[in-house]
Chain A
Amino acid sequence: MTTAAPPVSDAPAAAADPRKSVVRALMPRSLGGRIGLALLVLIALPCVVTLPWALQNYDAQELTAERSEAAPSAAFPMGTDRLGRSLLYRCLMGGVISLGVGVSAAAIAVCIGTAWGMTAGFMGGRIDSVMMRIVDVLYGLPYILLVVLMNVAFRPFIEAALTATMGAAVAGSIANVLTLLLAIGAVSWLTMARVVRGQALSLANQPFVEAARCLGVPTPRILLRHVLPNLTGPIIVYATLTVPQAILQESFLSFLGIGIQAPVPSWGNLASQGTEQLVTFIVAPSNMKWWLLVFPCLLLSMTLLGLNLLGDDLRDRLDPRANRGGEND
């Protein structure tokens, strides 16, 4: 996702711009990684680019009974849903929401996981074992329960805060999306914490950290200036792999009816509505409204595939724990 953004450089001396070289380092090298990036650009970009238009037209979607569940045509490339809304529009908007939830939840998970793992690994000793036992115990809890309970717990506060600043009509929907991403982010950081902790543990005994400590650099500064930069590799890798996980969880929850609620679309709840077509398919295949199932599922799967391909590419190059080169990959 982030790699898809063009390098932000306002200076003509781009070769010397360190940000540009970071972007270059993140560009995929393998065929798989390139396919992944291409898939993401192809799917995510239209979703994001059309967002202003989609928001503007959100209220203007006509609900027309006679156009209900129309097959794909020139006017409606992906057909229409039961209420006669364009499925293309729903998928574009749903994409923004799914991707948004995925990326922000992953960002939350990365922040918590990095902070937790770095502290545990760097401090070592008793602090480390207590912090990691907490992670172990949290691993023992079923995530869906945590997500749902947190969703219920956060919801009233966020909804109240939003209703105060904007209209109650919009507040409900936005609160729904916000609580969901908070809840998913708050439970997805465990793997990140373990990975970062392992790295931080080995960094803590490196000579340059020793040197910094001898020079009297305060611990927070050592963590931020000396340890964190050395953790960028694994962090980026696992962040890329956390995004598809978060999107997947959003879609599962929406599928189960406890995620994003209608009328707000997400790939998860669109696909879940589409699966109702399966019953029709088994009873009478010719009556099946296939587009309702195929398009959301296809978009969701292709995005996840793209993110995984990109994550694998990055992992092979950046993660010191990954396989040491050789015959494969």
Chain B
Amino acid sequence: MTRLIVVRLLQLPLILAAIFAITFTLAWVVPGNPLENDDGRRPPPEVIEAMKRQYNLDSPASFLSGYLSGLAQGDLGPSLIYRDQTVGDIIASGLPVSATLGAAALAFAFVFGTLAGVVGSLFPRTPLDLSSSIVSLIGISLPSFVTGSVMLAVFAGLLGWLPPGGWRDSPAQVILPAITLGFIPAAYVARLVRLGLADVMRSDYVRTAIAKGRSRHGALFGHALKVALLPVLSFLGPAAASAMTGSFVVEKIFNIPGLGEYFVAAARDKDQFLILGIVLVYSTMLVVFNIVVDATYAFVDPRIRVG
């Protein structure tokens, strides 16, 4: 298991370098940047000249060498659209918000999804099973702006139980967006658990346990659930990275100051520094979560060895 983690950690810089190379190419092949906007948002010419000189924006090669030497010192560079902030500032202020929201959403998804899956599988072919699969199907089919809107209208508007949005005022503000963001992953978790349990409950060792007098419930919780949760683990890895780097839609609906808005703005206005910075953060998280998932996998299931 140690070997697995070491191998994966050694691969980490390679994967990140590949991702960086692709993003860099994309950011330079696609024409235009915020300094070349043709409308009123463009800074005055002398500022442009100064910025171009300072940040080596004249050629990809000089940009790359400048960026990499900055990166070595932990400097992600300035933002070309949010000119009073550096990319480091933006990430430092947005990432904790998005990460908290994402963690809350995933916790909801895991608990709720597992619960729905277990209930469905404990009482197969009953209204309970049916309703749990219908809810998860609806979860997969509804765009998050629809679920978000409905939640906002019902719980914040109609019932007035929860605050409609914002972030720093009260902890209750995290509930609605977390449920909205966690709804789709919850639906996937529920399906994975339901299908996994159906599979595992038919396996020989569970049959043996039941034959030896274990109750169906006991076999499910004591033996089957552990194995059925394995696919959930591998689903949660990538889901965690995307949830924690901010869901643009949910942050927009609930007016949350996370990374999502910057992400969209960076791509739309082609702020090369911001694009590279956010992609690096996102990819690092994705790869790290995948390593964590693999390590947990190997820990939970000793049959798995690094391939």
- Is A49 located at the chain interface by the 8 A CB criterion? no
B275 to chain A, nearest CB (A): 7
- Is B218 located at the chain interface by the 8 A CB criterion? no
Q: Are B248 and A256 in contact (CB under 8 A)?
A: yes
- Is B202 located at the chain interface by the 8 A CB criterion? yes
Interface centre among A140, A145, A268, A293 (most CB of B within 10 A): A140
- Is A300 located at the chain interface by the 8 A CB criterion? yes
Residues of B within 8 A of A145 (CB): 23, 26, 263, 266-267, 275, 278-279
C-beta contact mask, A308-322 vs B, less than 8 Å → 1, else 0? 110010000000000
C-beta contact mask, A209-249 vs B, less than 8 Å → 1, else 0? 00000000000000000000000000000000000100010
Q: Which of A282, A309, A328 contacts B198 (CB 8 A)?
A: A328
- Is B185 located at the chain interface by the 8 A CB criterion? no
- Is A264 located at the chain interface by the 8 A CB criterion? no
Q: Which of B138, B142, B202, B282 contacts A327 (CB 8 A)?
A: B202
Q: Are B238 and A156 in contact (CB under 8 A)?
A: no
Q: Are A141 and B152 in contact (CB under 8 A)?
A: no
B162 to chain A, nearest CB (A): 12
Q: Are A156 and B140 in contact (CB under 8 A)?
A: no
- Is B13 located at the chain interface by the 8 A CB criterion? no
Q: Are A149 and B27 in contact (CB under 8 A)?
A: yes
With known contacts A258-B264, A278-B157, A149–B30 Cβ distance under 8 A: yes
Q: Are B137 and A300 in contact (CB under 8 A)?
A: no
A266 to chain B, nearest CB (A): 12
Residues of B within 8 A of A141 (CB): 19, 22-23, 279, 283
- Is B145 located at the chain interface by the 8 A CB criterion? yes
B110 to chain A, nearest CB (A): 22
Cα distance, A138 to B15, chains bound together (Å): 10
Give the interface SS of chain B, mostly helix, strand, loop or mixed: helix
Size range of the chain B interface in the assembly: 35 or more
A289 to chain B, nearest CB (A): 13
Cα distance, A328 to B198, chains bound together (Å): 7
With known contacts A275-B253, A304-B141, A142–B157 Cβ distance under 8 A: no
Question: Which parts of A266-317 form the interface with B (CB within 8 Å)?
Answer: 268, 271-272, 275, 278, 281-282, 285, 293, 297, 300-301, 304-305, 308-309, 312
Cα distance, A32 to B136, chains bound together (Å): 13
Q: Name A residues whose Cβ lies closer than 8 Å to a Cβ of B.
A: 32, 136-142, 144-146, 148-150, 152-153, 156, 244, 248, 251-252, 255-256, 258, 268, 271-272, 275, 278, 281-282, 285, 293, 297, 300-301, 304-305, 308-309, 312, 323, 326-328
Q: Name B residues whose Cβ lies closer than 8 Å to a Cβ of A.
A: 15, 18-19, 22-23, 26-27, 29-32, 121, 124, 137-138, 140-146, 149, 152-153, 156-158, 164, 194-195, 198-199, 202, 238, 242, 245, 248-249, 252-253, 263-264, 266-268, 270, 275, 278-279, 282-283, 286-287
30 residue pairs from A and B, CB less than 8 Å apart? A138-B22, A139-B238, A140-B283, A141-B283, A142-B245, A142-B282, A144-B248, A144-B264, A144-B267, A145-B266, A149-B26, A152-B30, A152-B32, A153-B26, A153-B29, A244-B141, A251-B143, A255-B252, A256-B252, A271-B146, A281-B157, A282-B153, A282-B164, A304-B141, A308-B140, A323-B199, A326-B198, A326-B199, A327-B198, A327-B202
